[in-house]
């Protein structure tokens, strides 16, 4: 388990960066941009997928049920965000980011923090 703690910590650090990126997407959308946030969302998707892959060995060693559940919500929110971009409606993208993606990412990060805290204090 000790070998996996650095993986969990790095995943959490990247999740914080992802959360900051989502907030930046939200700001850009409020400033009436649509193309630049799309590229940032592509990076968010890549980072999310990378974190999820890095946690595969961790899942075998510790209880990550809440991380898994919140990750599923983030996955759905990312899909809806992409569909919103495809519609070309900045308002729809902004609504999806604000109401689904941002809260989903926050809950996912919190679930990772809680999971990590449980194993660091053991």
pLDDT digits (tens, 9 = 90+) for 73-83: 999 999 999 99
Which residue ranges of the chain lie beneath pLDDT 50? Answer: none
User: According to the model, what pLDDT value does residue 1 have?
Assistant: 61
Domains contained in the chain, CATH given? 5-120 (1.20.120.330)
CA nearest 58: which of 21, 112, 96? Answer: 112
Q: Which helix (H) or strand (E) holds 57?
A: helix 56-61
For residue 77, the model assigns a pLDDT of 97
10 Å CB burial of residue 110 (0-12, 13-18, 19+) is middle
- Whole-prediction pTM: 0.90
Please name which of 45, 34, 17 lies closest in space to residue 101, comparing C-alpha atoms. 45
């Amino acid at each position: 388990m000790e070998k996996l703690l650095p993986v969990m910590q790095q995943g959490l650090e990247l999740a914080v960066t992802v959360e900051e990126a989502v907030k930046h997407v939200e700001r850009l959308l409020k400033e009436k941009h649509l193309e630049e946030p799309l590229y940032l969302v592509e990076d968010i998707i890549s980072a999310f997928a990378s974190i999820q892959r890095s946690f595969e060995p961790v899942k075998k060693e510790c209880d990550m049920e809440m991380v898994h559940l919140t990750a599923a919500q983030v996955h759905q929110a990312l899909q809806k965000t992409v569909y919103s971009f495809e519609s070309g409606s900045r308002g729809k993208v902004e609504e999806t980011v604000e109401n689904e993606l941002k809260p989903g990412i926050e809950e996912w990060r919190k679930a990772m923090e809680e999971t990590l805290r449980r194993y660091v204090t053991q």
